Amino acid sequence: DAKTTQPPSMDCAEGRAANLPCNHSTISGNEYVYWYRQIHSQGPQYIIHGLKNNETNEMASLIITEDRKSSTLILPHATLRDTAVYYCIAQSATRQLTFGSGTQLTVLP
Protein backbone atom coordinates (compact mmCIF):
# COMPACT_ATOMS: atom_id res chain seq x y z
CA ASP A 1 0.00 0.00 0.00
CA ALA A 2 1.25 3.46 -0.83
CA LYS A 3 2.26 5.65 2.09
CA THR A 4 0.11 8.73 2.63
CA THR A 5 1.02 11.97 4.37
CA GLN A 6 -1.54 14.23 6.01
CA PRO A 7 -1.28 17.26 8.29
CA PRO A 8 -1.92 16.24 11.90
CA SER A 9 -4.60 18.84 12.51
CA MET A 10 -6.74 21.51 10.88
CA ASP A 11 -9.42 23.93 11.96
CA CYS A 12 -12.39 25.09 9.93
CA ALA A 13 -15.17 27.56 10.64
CA GLU A 14 -18.67 26.17 10.70
CA GLY A 15 -20.42 26.64 7.36
CA ARG A 16 -17.19 27.08 5.44
CA ALA A 17 -15.56 24.52 3.18
CA ALA A 18 -13.01 22.21 4.76
CA ASN A 19 -10.18 21.22 2.43
CA LEU A 20 -8.12 18.31 3.69
CA PRO A 21 -4.93 17.54 1.74
CA CYS A 22 -3.20 14.21 1.31
CA ASN A 23 0.06 13.28 -0.39
CA HIS A 24 0.47 9.81 -1.89
CA SER A 25 3.43 10.25 -4.20
CA THR A 26 4.19 6.50 -4.44
CA ILE A 27 0.68 5.45 -5.42
CA SER A 28 0.55 2.78 -8.11
CA GLY A 29 -1.84 2.45 -11.00
CA ASN A 30 -4.22 -0.03 -9.39
CA GLU A 31 -4.48 1.75 -6.07
CA TYR A 32 -7.53 3.73 -5.15
CA VAL A 33 -7.61 6.75 -2.86
CA TYR A 34 -10.07 6.19 -0.02
CA TRP A 35 -11.17 8.62 2.64
CA TYR A 36 -12.60 7.49 5.95
CA ARG A 37 -13.31 9.40 9.11
CA GLN A 38 -13.63 8.48 12.74
CA ILE A 39 -15.88 10.54 14.92
CA HIS A 40 -14.90 10.32 18.55
CA SER A 41 -14.94 6.68 19.77
CA GLN A 42 -17.13 5.45 16.89
CA GLY A 43 -16.04 3.04 14.19
CA PRO A 44 -14.44 4.50 11.07
CA GLN A 45 -16.90 5.66 8.42
CA TYR A 46 -16.40 5.56 4.67
CA ILE A 47 -16.63 8.94 2.96
CA ILE A 48 -15.55 8.65 -0.64
CA HIS A 49 -13.04 7.03 -2.95
CA GLY A 50 -11.51 7.64 -6.37
CA LEU A 51 -9.03 6.28 -8.85
CA LYS A 52 -8.26 9.00 -11.39
CA ASN A 53 -11.26 11.24 -11.78
CA ASN A 54 -12.68 13.71 -9.34
CA GLU A 55 -15.62 12.33 -7.42
CA THR A 56 -18.56 13.81 -5.55
CA ASN A 57 -21.20 12.28 -3.34
CA GLU A 58 -23.63 13.53 -0.76
CA MET A 59 -20.91 13.84 1.86
CA ALA A 60 -17.91 15.27 0.09
CA SER A 61 -15.89 15.86 -3.04
CA LEU A 62 -12.56 14.29 -3.86
CA ILE A 63 -10.09 16.08 -6.10
CA ILE A 64 -7.20 13.96 -7.38
CA THR A 65 -4.30 15.62 -9.19
CA GLU A 66 -3.59 14.53 -12.71
CA ASP A 67 -0.38 12.75 -11.68
CA ARG A 68 -2.31 11.10 -8.82
CA LYS A 69 0.38 12.02 -6.32
CA SER A 70 -1.95 14.00 -4.12
CA SER A 71 -5.61 14.57 -3.41
CA THR A 72 -7.91 16.87 -1.48
CA LEU A 73 -11.07 15.97 0.36
CA ILE A 74 -13.58 18.80 0.38
CA LEU A 75 -16.44 19.08 2.84
CA PRO A 76 -18.40 21.91 1.20
CA HIS A 77 -20.23 23.24 4.26
CA ALA A 78 -18.62 21.93 7.41
CA THR A 79 -20.78 21.45 10.49
CA LEU A 80 -19.83 20.79 14.09
CA ARG A 81 -20.69 17.12 13.52
CA ASP A 82 -17.88 16.90 10.97
CA THR A 83 -15.31 17.23 13.73
CA ALA A 84 -13.40 13.96 13.43
CA VAL A 85 -10.13 12.34 12.44
CA TYR A 86 -9.96 12.01 8.66
CA TYR A 87 -7.90 9.23 7.10
CA CYS A 88 -6.57 9.19 3.56
CA ILE A 89 -5.71 5.66 2.42
CA ALA A 90 -4.14 4.59 -0.87
CA GLN A 91 -4.38 0.92 -1.69
CA SER A 92 -5.69 -1.67 -4.09
CA ALA A 93 -9.30 -2.74 -3.80
CA THR A 94 -8.53 -6.24 -2.60
CA ARG A 95 -6.44 -5.19 0.38
CA GLN A 96 -7.31 -4.41 3.94
CA LEU A 97 -7.28 -0.77 4.98
CA THR A 98 -4.00 0.66 6.24
CA PHE A 99 -4.74 3.56 8.55
CA GLY A 100 -2.17 6.25 9.24
CA SER A 101 -2.46 8.89 11.91
CA GLY A 102 -4.90 11.01 9.89
CA THR A 103 -5.90 14.66 10.23
CA GLN A 104 -7.84 15.85 13.24
CA LEU A 105 -10.37 18.29 11.81
CA THR A 106 -11.98 20.60 14.31
CA VAL A 107 -14.98 22.61 13.11
CA LEU A 108 -15.29 25.77 15.13
CA PRO A 109 -18.60 27.54 15.84
Partner 1 sequence: EAGVTQFPSHSVIEKGQTVTLRCDPISGHDNLYWYRRVMGKEIKFLLHFVKESKQDESGMPNNRFLAERTGGTYSTLKVQPAELEDSGVYFCASSQDLRLAGFYNEQFFGPGTRLTVL
Residues of this chain that interact with partner 1 (CB under 8 A) are 32, 34, 38, 41-46, 49, 93-101
Query: At closest approach, how far in Å is the CB of 16 from partner 1?
Result: 28
49 versus 69: smaller Cβ distance to partner 1: 49
36 versus 82: smaller Cβ distance to partner 1: 36
d(CA 100, CA 90): 10
d(CA 45, CA 71): 19
Q: Residue 91, exposed/middle/buried by CB under 10 A (0-12, 13-18, 19+)?
A: buried
Q: Which residues contact 36 (CB under 8 A, 6 or more apart)?
A: 44, 45, 46, 47, 86, 87, 89, 97, 99
Q: Which amino acid is at 98?
A: T
5 versus 16: smaller Cβ distance to partner 1: 5
39 versus 108: smaller Cβ distance to partner 1: 39
d(CA 2, CA 77): 30
